[in-house]
Amino acid sequence: MLDAATVDEDLVMFRDMVRRMVEKEVAPIAARIDRDDDMPHSLVPVFGDMGLIQIMVPEAYGGPGGTTTMACIAKEEVSRASFAVSHLVGATSIAMALPLVHYGTEEQRARYLPEIAEGRTLTCIGLTEPHTGSDVSDIRTSARREGDDYVINGQKVFITKADQAKYILLFARTSEGRGHDGISSFIVPMDSPGLKIGGSPKKMGLRGIRNCDLFFEDVRVPAGNMVGAEGQGFRNAMGVLNMNRPTVAAASVGLAQGALDASLAYAKERTQFGKPIGQFQLVQAMLADMAIQIEAARALLYNVTALIDSRPDDPRVPAMASMVKTFASDMAMKVTTDAVQVFGGAGYLQDHPVERMMRDAKVCQIYEGTNQIQRLIIARALLKQ
């Protein structure tokens, strides 16, 4: 837990501000969002007015100029109540703000960032395809140059918030064959002629957020919408992912903390054999192990965010980002599963939040790069040292 004795007082105030908002606006409707698989759009202005949606937009363009640490603090706090709603925190970061800041032109930044800074515009990112998940080099969506435009054809799947986004940062192949060097990225308005939004599959967790199929049929975008140099899209995407993976860890820590909070409350009030189950040593051991794992993940998380905020080009960043994403998501899966066990049969019912939290935790081990891929990244970095 953040403590004023060990971290900047402003961060503690920021955390407390987010926590109060979550208690008022998110916690009361978290179960309903999961049950109905629908997140109220009314939350967008709430998060936007606090600067959370656009948290990584620099102050020079009207944004809050927030750090990775701040984004993770907010993500953790919101995820304690609702993992789905936590996806509004930094919703424009990886999908527009960070790529434009690091790889875009000044003209692109001046055009898009002030709009995003208002906290009302949502964006999404288009990488995954029906046959392409971890192997991004096999992207087949194509972008063919025709005069001053690129013509895009192909399909994307599992595109988060595509139904609410105004723009997509789309990755497409601008050269023939396979390979990372032939991939480029483009800002594509979601209302572009030829772009069709498909359905969202029913998911085990992360309910309330749509993950839509997208179909591109001769979609034209100006050449000036390319972000970064042609053929450098994959390299740029990996750089942004390294900065974003800690936010997955933050959501994982928040999920686990929420599960522990619920387990502690239940262990104090649920009685068996004439006393609260929290007085039984085997239950106490589970609660202690949950707390140990959460604090270990939290310590690693904010160590990594401090590195990213102070030295983003440090060669340790890619491996450290993969480490914290892997460790925290594996931890969240373990802790939420144990929380269901503490609740016993009640934990298997949708009447209690730990059932939802366990379902939500699973995807943290999968998206933003599976934990198997993360371990390969870590091992390769170690072997290069």
List pLDDT tens digits, range 120-137. Answer: 999 999 999 998 888 888
Picking from 86, 117, 148, the residue at the C-terminal end of a domain is 117
Token pair in block for residue 223: 């050449």
Task: Give the Cα separation of 146 and 222 in Å (integer).
Answer: 10
In angstroms, the CA 347 to CA 340 distance is: 4
In CATH, what number is assigned to the domain containing residue 50? Answer: 1.10.540.10
- Residue 2 is predicted with a pLDDT of 52
> Is there a catalytic annotation at residue 368?
yes
Active-site entry in 76, 77, 355, 368: 368
Residue type for position 16: D
Tell me the one-letter amino acid at 158: F
How many domains would you assign to the chain?
A: 3
Instruction: Answer whether residue 2 is part of any domain.
Output: no
Q: What distance in Å separates the CA atoms of residue 39 and residue 218, rounded to the nearest whole number?
A: 32
Does 267 lie in the same domain as 146?
no
Residue 303: count other Cβ atoms within 10 Å of its Cβ: 13
Q: Which pTM was predicted?
A: 0.94
Angle at 189 between CA 110 and CA 239, to 5 degrees: 65
Rg (the chain; Cα; Å): 21
Task: Let me know whether 266 and 214 are in one domain.
Answer: no
**Which of 65, 92, 117 delimits the end of a domain?**
117
Give residue 7's pLDDT: 62
SS3 187: strand
For residues 242 and 379, membership in a common domain is answered with yes
In this prediction, residue 163 carries a pLDDT of 94
Distance between CA atoms of residues 89 and 55, nearest Å: 7
Q: What's the domain range around 21? A: 9-117
pLDDT at 176: 82
Whether residue 187 is found in the same domain as residue 69: no
Low-confidence ranges of the chain (pLDDT < 50): 1, 4-6
My answer on whether 343 and 238 are in the same domain is yes
Residue count of the chain: 385
**Whether 243 and 366 share a structural domain:** yes
